[in-house]
Structure 1
């Protein structure tokens, strides 16, 4: 697969990641992130193994795809970061609760 085709695939996955983030479908988002990582790794292997020269139109398309993926990343973060903040708060509360129980001898779940 050409590097441009890989970027096209990454852009498709990136758009699907946006939809998963908007829907708070974290399991799907994780699956898509793994798919994105595999495509990224393939691009790294492809570009380091062969020095494929892109024409002007192909280079412009590659730049468009990268710009779109960066915009998708911003959108994904808008949905993921508040969720991560709430998870961090929940986890830090649990740690604090365990520390208080341990300090005062209240052992339990």
Structure 2
């Protein structure tokens, strides 16, 4: 994997997480799920030891992309966690039957 490959991977993940935020904001849970699967697939290329260390401008760009990805993740969680808690509160009987 080259430095360009690394940056392309993180750019793709950042774009997917931007789309995930938009899906969460509009309560598009099916779309969010699809995007989450795409994001997981894209991130699977980043297995430990497979991504080379970057230097200079490429390193700074990677850091910016990681910050964007983390901010998107935080926003998605802010939107979805209350909904998940509400869902869990209406489904306690179902869990007892499993």
Fold match by TM threshold 0.5: yes
TM range (shorter): 0.7 to 0.9
Of the three residues 4, 9, 13, the one matched with 1:10 is 13
State the Cα RMSD in Å. Answer: 2.1
For 1:1-109, list aligned pairs within 5 A: 2-44=5-47, 48-49=49-50, 52-92=52-92, 95=93
TM-score (norm: length of structure 2) = 0.85
Please give the TM-score of this superposition, normalised by the length of structure 1: 0.77
C-alpha distance in structure 2 between counterparts of 1:69 and 1:38, whole Å:
15
The unaligned stretches of length 5 or more in structure 1 are: 100-109
Distance 1:27 1:57 in 2: 37
The total of aligned residue pairs comes to 93
